[in-house]
Amino acid sequence: MGSHPFVICDVFTDRPLQGNQLAVFTHASAIDDGLLHALAREMHFSETVFVYPGDAAADFRIRIFTPNVELPFAGHPVLGTGFVLAAGTTAGAIRLRCDAGVIPIRLDREGEALRFGWMTQVTPRIEPMPQPDALLRALGVQKAALPVDVYDNGVRHAFVGLETEAEVARLQPDLAALARLLPSTGISCFAGAARRWKTRMFGPGLGVPEDPATGSAAGPLAVHLARYERIAFDSEIEISQGVEISRPSTLFARVSGTPDRIERVEVGGSAVIVARGEFSL
């Protein structure tokens, strides 16, 4: 029987019991691979992370699981794991390797306390979604305010713009239909203007009916808005998510480049550690 310690933190918030929950198993080399998915289902958060020793390019390697699948990348697990591993150190940066690549995180401190982090994400691949009408029907909306495109930075998201934040708040999608249509893709619905945007992300095929805060979608949202001239390149946006499921979250994102050449995608936020424990298995 082994002891497997874990840390729980709330990500994209500076207040405990808000944001997106994350479990981080900090010494995963001692855990049999066959237990990883079972542990993720036991935690039953949007994602659970398992941490391994790093290499010359990264301080640590991580694996990310939803209750249903393993992901090559996800935003709140990367940022939250950075906070967990840097806690109790003086590190101003940390590099995490996931299957999508090495993600660097810059950490802002106030004294010894971690306050904020910015991760540089993989530049997403972009493709238009063919015949999005079935997706709009499953969401229960008549039309999208912008073209519906799919972005892939290690996890796929389809972006559906609506005219008002109230429309986003009222969404009651057919989750079973979404899972059939896009079994390996999240659906990010958004509205807003200028610096402030509201989103909801539905991922029933990924095992996440609705996500409280989706860092992997925040960077591509900034790209999407900049490509369609809703924001300027190099401007910072603030994203509100999770209110409808009582987990209010705040994410920040910015993108540099041009519509034809995306140069840098960054997503930022805070995180707080709320619990520690261990499994004896």
CA distance readout (Å), 205 to 140, 186, 209, 217, 235: 18, 8, 8, 16, 32
Separation CA 13–CA 6 (nearest Å)? 20
Of 42, 47, 244, 266, which one is the catalytic site residue? Answer: 47
* pLDDT tens, position by position, 29-43: 999 999 999 999 999
- Answer whether residue 113 shows pLDDT above 90: no
> Residue 133: what residue type?
D
Q: Would you call 47 a catalytic residue per the annotation? A: yes
Average pLDDT, integer, range 107-123:
93
Q: Which of 32, 61, 59 is nearest to 49 (CA)?
A: 61
* pLDDT tens, position by position, 237-253: 999 999 999 999 999 99
Q: What is the pTM of this model?
A: 0.96
> Residue 108: what residue type?
D
- Answer whether residue 123 shows pLDDT above 90: yes
- Answer whether residue 1 shows pLDDT above 70: no
pLDDT of residue 49: 98
